[in-house]
Amino acid sequence: MLRSLWTLIRRDVSLIVMRRQDVLTVVAFFILVITLFPLSIGPEPDKLRTLAPGGVWVAAALASLISLDRLFADDWRDGTLEQVALSPQPLAVAALAKVAAHWFSLGLPLVVLSPALGYSLGLEGAELLVLALSLLLGTPVLSLLGAVGAALTLGVRAGGALMALLILPLYAPVLILGAGAVSEAMFDSAYTAHLSLLGAMLAVAVPLVPVAIAGALRIALD
Amino acid sequence: MTARSIPWLKFTAPPNFYVLAERLTPWLWGVAALFLVAGLYVGFFVAPPDYQQGNSYRIMFIHVPAAWMGMFLYLLMALYGAIFLIWRIKMADVMARAIAPTGALMTFLSLWTGALWGAPTWGTYWVWDARLTSTLILLFLFLGYIALHAASDDREKGGRAASLLAIIGAVNVPIIYFSVEWWYNLHQGVSVMRADGPSMAPSMLAALLLMTVAFWVYSAAIVLRRAQSETLSREARKEWAQQAACGRLTRDTRERAVAQAQQENAVSESGGQA
């Protein structure tokens, strides 16, 4: 099972790497959304600094949302998904592999970039570390939840906008905790509670959400 | 086929459900109207003014039942969704689908009346308080359910996808309920379900409970009505539905339709397992 998991991850990562522009598009989108904050609010460092945790987190959530839009669509259209579903491995494992590959190639770059963008909005020192840590724990949860939406909207009219309606409400708790951790760090108070809760969410989501994804995929494949 | 002998499964057959709803809804409408009148009377004329908020608190008699109903209906919808996904009982999907608009309406009402209540007491129509925000999210969960159900061309498929979404979203409802204690700020604390008894005048509590019953029974009535018309539109080609739409459904036709539906179910079940 682990070997098929690994093979699927390698296949998906190499597929994404072959189409590098997808990664670049998502990263550019992430940076652009953050650029919109100073442009719309004004360049005063104090204002930007208070908005920074939420700003980076909102940008990350939106980037995750748009990148997940087509997570299963191509495999579904060319029949790969059906083959994977017919294989003896549980579909949930395959779903987890796809999400993991997606996160490694599209989520991780955002985490790596986030300190630089946080710095540009006026965060400094330990806050940047907390920002990156919170994203490291939080974006996999976003990817998992978003994958449910991507699976549910397979083969449905107006998939993209519908997916945002379905998934953004579910993103809320992660966003609250993630941005909360950075805000706590800005006031030098205990941010570890937020990070622990994020970690707990991740620990709960990794085994459970793939089952929901598999269920949604089966509905689409029926 | 032993499961078919359990009485409540009788109403999973659309014609039986239709007749049951037909019999129940007039009573439900009557009871709802009765409790509504009683609740409004006690709420407006018997309950004393609040010592801090004066008369403005009286919107609570609509606000609180609507908020409770919104959450309750979401859980009920998710429960029906689960029944539909697990046992493939089509009527469960009809019920879940029928609950969604009423649930969305109740959630919207609780937000709306909350805004009207907030203006005189907090001095603002809207704050980003944890409870308000999560109720808003609940409204979007309802809207997402309705949109996903409607987006699929295949009603069965759309129903299953939407049911799964409802179950996932149900995780959010406890967060709403406990958010008062988790991120306590502007929203007033719990005042009904407390260990040391309710912290309000008995007549206020009476009005609140009367209104809750009224909302509850109203929801049941409107949901059954909507489920009825949904059943008719799903079974529009069948003889019993055409008779029922004209109000002339005979016992004979109904029993024949039930027998036929059970036969079809048996065939599709054995076909599904092969």
**DSSP notation for A88-140:** SS-HHHHHHHHHHHHIIIIIHHHHHHHHHHHHHTT--THHHHHHHHHHHHHHH
Residue B169: its chain A contacts at CB < 8 A?
169-170
Identify the segments of chain B with pLDDT beneath 70: 1-8, 130, 172-173, 175-199, 265-274
- Looking at residue B254, its pLDDT comes to 80
At B163, list the tokens.
């049911």
Residue A168: its chain B contacts at CB < 8 A?
140
Q: CB-CB: which of B153, B161, B168 is closest to A170?
A: B168
Most A-contacting residue of B86, B132, B168, B182 (CB-CB within 10 A), to test interface? B168
DSSP code, position B9:
G
- Looking at residue B163, its pLDDT comes to 93
CB contact under 8 A, B140 and A162: no
Chain centroid to CA B174: 17
Q: CB-CB: which of A162, A166, A173 is closest to B175?
A: A173
Q: Are B63 and B113 in contact (CB under 8 A)?
A: yes
Most B-contacting residue of A65, A91, A144, A165 (CB-CB within 10 A), to test interface? A165
List, in sequence order, every residue forming a beta bridge with B54; answer none if it has no partner.
Answer: B50
- Looking at residue B146, its pLDDT comes to 93
Is the CB of residue A200 less than 8 Å away from at least one CB of chain B? no
Residue A118 CB: number of other CB atoms within 10 A?
A: 25
In angstroms, what CA-CA distances link A50 with A22, A31, A96, B48?
31, 18, 36, 45
Could you list the pLDDT tens digit for every one of the 222 residues in chain A? Answer: 788 888 888 888 888 888 888 889 999 999 999 999 889 988 888 888 888 888 999 999 999 998 888 788 888 888 888 888 888 888 999 999 999 999 988 899 999 999 999 999 888 888 899 999 999 999 999 999 999 999 998 878 777 788 888 888 888 888 888 888 888 888 877 788 888 888 988 998 999 999 999 999 998 887
Is the CB of residue A208 less than 8 Å away from at least one CB of chain B? no
How far apart are the CA of B225 and the nearest CA of chain A, in angstroms? 27
Residue B168: its chain A contacts at CB < 8 A?
148, 170, 212
Which value does ipTM take for this structure? Answer: 0.85
Is the CB of residue A45 less than 8 Å away from at least one CB of chain B? no
Residue B147: its chain A contacts at CB < 8 A?
162, 165-166
Q: Which residue has the tokens 């997808």?
A: A22
Residue A216: its chain B contacts at CB < 8 A?
161, 164
Can you tell me the distance from the alpha carbon of A57 to that of A175, in angstroms, rounded to the nearest whole number?
A: 7
- Looking at residue B175, its pLDDT comes to 60
Most B-contacting residue of A76, A170, A213 (CB-CB within 10 A), to test interface? A170
A 127-186 residues with CB < 8 A to B: 148, 152-153, 155-158, 162, 165-166, 168-170, 172-173
B77's CB contacts (< 8 A; 6+ apart) are B96, B99, B100, B103, B145, B166
At B216, list the tokens.
């509850």
CB contact under 8 A, A166 and B160: no
Residue B140: its chain A contacts at CB < 8 A?
165, 168-169
- Looking at residue B6, its pLDDT comes to 57
- Looking at residue B271, its pLDDT comes to 47
CB contact under 8 A, B148 and A162: yes
A19's CB contacts (< 8 A; 6+ apart) are none
CB contact under 8 A, B161 and A148: no
In angstroms, what CA-CA distances link B256 with A200, B13, B99, B251, B253?
55, 11, 29, 9, 5
CB contact under 8 A, A216 and B161: yes
